[in-house]
Structure 1
């Protein structure tokens, strides 16, 4: 299962009123090998509490994906 799908499941737990421990326990029971870490679940819960309900990756600062080099120009 990929990150986006886990984010949706974490959001589902949040909307159902589960706390982070309950969400982690449920995800571990269902997806024992690939479940996200507790810190990941806490981070997403914090975003959802701030009404940031999107499960998409946000903009990041830093280097762009495409780098201009002599070969590319």
Structure 2
């Protein structure tokens, strides 16, 4: 299952009033091979509690994967 789909399922559990333990238990039972890790559950619940209801991953800042400069050519 794709990450985006898990984000939506985690949001569904949050809106239904389940806590992270209940949501993790439900996801593990329904999707035993592909369930999200506990840290991801906590991250998304924290995000939803701050009223950030988007299930999209945010933009990552930092160094780009490939940097072309005169020094490394």
After TM superposition, give the deviation of residue 64 of structure 1 in Å.
Answer: 3.6
Aligned to 2:7: 7
TM-score where L is the length of structure 2: 0.86
What is the RMSD of the two structures over their aligned residues, measured on CA atoms?
A: 1.4
5+ residue gaps, structure 2: none
Which aligned runs of 4 or more in structure 1 are off by greater than 6 angstroms? none
2:28 matches 1:23: no
Q: CA deviation at 1:4?
A: 0.2
TM-score of the superposition, structure 1-length normalised?
A: 0.86
| Aligned residues between the structures | 70
- Show the counterpart of 1:60: 60
